[in-house]
């Protein structure tokens, strides 16, 4: 699934939800219960998963009753603020500072430390996105485990490469961004005044831009943010050079952009139609029945590692979904066992086999547990080559990623269309983002 990023909840919004919603009934859920008197422990979960997994888990704990609530953010906030009615729930890493500040998240560090299945040594770096030391994400207590995640790759249409006699990108060695741009120009096909085939979509239309900026600056040995993640700077030479690359791409007319818009609402449609040669897209959209890889195109789709901006090779997760426990839960021990089951047991194994999502534990990287379909084997081969370079990226928790993407795209659009010089745009964007970061920090 595409890892969604619901709006980050500021403390004042958190409290507003509480005042308005506290006492609201949680609504009907699905109850899985063994025969008994009704006094057995009740584990209330807000996790979207097929019921047969709950039935299987409950067989391991015959005296346990499980109440599955449909995922609903309002109900989750109500339960957390009321400190009742929830034990296990999914949320995004951007919520960690707010939830932790309110004291409603259980610290899972001690559970992981003594668990034979989920010790820290078995957790992939993506799990560090749910650590928070009160100042910086990625450090300190562990408040959740990643339940689903993926990272972007370079997708390409082999047929369009073949038609022009161009060699496929390497499966092992990332190309540079300059090489990517040159390749995109070669693959762009014009028919009169129309573009028949776009050569490159570099993440502009697939929600990857902010993550790519953060990752590429990290590859160059610098950061978009200050060490405490409270300030951003788009005016550094490294940041401006990276922003200029996207301006150059747009003005070259080789991909759907504010300069050369396409008559589609989703670039995946262009890819399916054979009108887009390369794109940077998240692997979470992959699946046997995914519209991105329908059977007519499956054999035509190739994958390559993301291009590299700086000297340091690294790759990160741009967004994830995590699963955590309520600090006030009366059943933390069995709730932890549910996390263990969900993140390393049959539900996780089945997710890996059916989608392009990645495991959160090293033990599920074994080839025996990989998908067997030819297209998935190719995907997994490319994905596994990136795992040694996986790291938690330094996103600031004080601004929602959707807000950051919107601010960057709006500012860059003005430069792409010749309405503003890059230096002026970088200065204004820095001021705008820093004001939002200040507000986000104050909201805690």
Cα atoms found within 13 Å of the Cα of residue 289, Cβ hemisphere only: 1
Q: Longest Cα pair distance anywhere in the chain, in angstroms?
A: 77
Length of the chain: 444
Q: Residue 52: what pLDDT?
A: 94
Backbone φ and ψ for 305, nearest 5 degrees, come out as -65, 155
- Residue 407 CA to residue 412 CA, distance in Å, equals 9
Measured CA angle at 352 (ends 4, 89), to 5 deg:
45
DSSP β-bridge partners for residue 276? 198
pLDDT tier for residue 76 given thresholds of 50, 70 and 90: very high
Backbone φ and ψ for 170, nearest 5 degrees, come out as -65, 145
Q: 325 near 332, Cβ under 8 Å?
A: yes
Where does residue 85 fall: left (phi above 0), alpha (psi -120 to 50 degrees), or beta otherwise?
left
Q: What is the pTM of this model?
A: 0.83
Please state, for a pLDDT cut of 70, what percent of the chain lies above it: 85
Q: Residue 2: what pLDDT?
A: 29
User: Cα-Cα-Cα-Cα dihedral of 312, 318, 322, 327, to 10°?
Assistant: 80
Fold for domain 152-316+395-443? D-Maltodextrin-Binding Protein; domain 2 (3.40.190)
- Residue 195 CA to residue 217 CA, distance in Å, equals 32
Domain ranges, ordered by start, for the chain? 11-150+318-365, 152-316+395-443
Structure tokens at 347: 């539900």
Structure tokens at 384: 């596994």
pLDDT tier for residue 419 given thresholds of 50, 70 and 90: very high
In sequence order, which residues have a C-beta less than 8 Å from that of residue 87 and are 6 or more positions away? 43, 44, 45, 325, 326, 329, 330, 331, 332, 335
Q: 271 near 205, Cβ under 8 Å?
A: no
Report CA 132 to chain centroid distance, whole Å.
Answer: 18
Q: Per-residue pLDDT tens for 368-395?
A: 455 556 666 777 778 778 888 888 888 8
CA 359, 341, 336, 51 dihedral sign is positive
Q: Per-residue pLDDT tens for 240-293?
A: 999 999 999 999 999 999 999 887 778 888 888 899 999 998 876 554 445 555
Q: Tell me if residue 176 falls in helix, strand or coil.
A: strand
Q: 405 near 207, Cβ under 8 Å?
A: yes
What Cα–Cα distance (Å) separates residue 72 from each residue in 29, 45, 243, 370? 11, 11, 37, 32
Cα atoms found within 13 Å of the Cα of residue 99, Cβ hemisphere only: 35
- Residue 378 CA to residue 368 CA, distance in Å, equals 15
Q: Find the radius of gyration of the CA atoms of the chain.
A: 23
The neighbour count for residue 418, using CB atoms within 10 Å, is: 10
Q: Residue 22: what pLDDT?
A: 36
Q: Is the pLDDT of residue 171 over 50?
A: yes
pLDDT tier for residue 299 given thresholds of 50, 70 and 90: confident
Q: Per-residue pLDDT tens for 78-112?
A: 999 999 999 999 998 888 988 998 899 999 999 99
Fold for domain 11-150+318-365? D-Maltodextrin-Binding Protein; domain 2 (3.40.190)
Closest to 429 (Cα-Cα) out of 267, 239, 282, 233: 233
**Which alpha helices (DSSP H) does 153-236 contain, by range?**
158-163, 177-187, 209-219
Domain 11-150+318-365 and domain 152-316+395-443, same fold? Reply is: yes
Q: Per-residue pLDDT tens for 211-221?
A: 999 999 999 99
């Amino acid at each position: 699934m595409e890892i969604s990023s619901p709006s980050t909840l500021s403390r004042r919004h958190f409290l507003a939800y509480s005042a308005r919603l506290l006492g609201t009934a949680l609504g009907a859920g699905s109850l899985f219960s063994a025969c008994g008197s009704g006094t057995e422990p009740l584990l209330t979960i807000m996790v979207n998963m097929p019921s047969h997994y709950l039935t299987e888990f409950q067989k391991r704990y015959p005296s346990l009753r499980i109440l599955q609530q449909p995922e609903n953010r309002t109900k989750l906030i109500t339960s957390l603020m009321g400190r009742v009615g929830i034990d296990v729930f999914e949320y995004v890493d951007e919520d960690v500072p707010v939830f932790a500040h309110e004291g409603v998240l259980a610290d899972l560090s001690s559970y992981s430390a003594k668990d034979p299945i989920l010790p820290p040594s078995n957790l992939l770096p993506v799990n560090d996105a749910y650590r928070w030391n009160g100042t910086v994400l990625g450090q300190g207590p562990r408040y959740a485990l990643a339940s689903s995640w993926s990272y972007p790759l370079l997708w390409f249409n082999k047929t369009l490469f073949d038609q022009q006699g161009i060699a496929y990108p390497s499966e092992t060695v990332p190309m540079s961004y300059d090489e990517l741009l040159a390749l995109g120009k070669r693959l762009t096909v014009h028919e009169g005044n129309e573009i028949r085939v776009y050569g490159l979509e570099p993440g502009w239309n697939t929600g990857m831009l902010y993550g790519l900026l953060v990752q590429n600056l990290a590859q160059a040995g610098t950061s978009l943010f200050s060490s405490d993640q409270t300030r951003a700077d788009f005016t550094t030479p490294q940041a401006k050079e990276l922003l200029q690359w996207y301006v150059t791409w747009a003005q070259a007319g080789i991909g759907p952009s504010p300069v050369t818009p396409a008559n589609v609402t989703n670039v995946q449609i262009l890819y399916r139609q054979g009108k887009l040669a390369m794109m940077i897209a998240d692997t979470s959209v992959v699946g046997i029945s995914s519209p991105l890889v329908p059977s007519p195109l499956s054999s035509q789709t190739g994958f390559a590692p993301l291009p590299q901006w700086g000297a340091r090779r690294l790759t990160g997760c741009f967004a994830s979904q995590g699963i955590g426990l309520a600090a006030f839960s009366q059943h933390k021990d069995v709730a932890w066992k549910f996390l263990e089951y969900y993140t390393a047991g049959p539900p996780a194994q089945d997710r890996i086999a059916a989608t392009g999502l990645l495991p959160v534990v090293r033990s599920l990287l074994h080839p025996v547990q990989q998908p067997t379909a030819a297209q998935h084997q190719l995907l997994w081969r490319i994905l596994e080559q990136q795992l040694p370079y996986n790291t938690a990226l330094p996103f600031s928790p004080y601004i929602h990623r959707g807000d950051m993407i919107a601010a960057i795209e709006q500012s860059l659009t003005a430069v792409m269309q010749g309405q503003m010089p890059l230096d002026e745009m970088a200065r204004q964007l820095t001021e705008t983002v820093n004001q939002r970061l200040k507000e986000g920090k104050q909201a805690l």
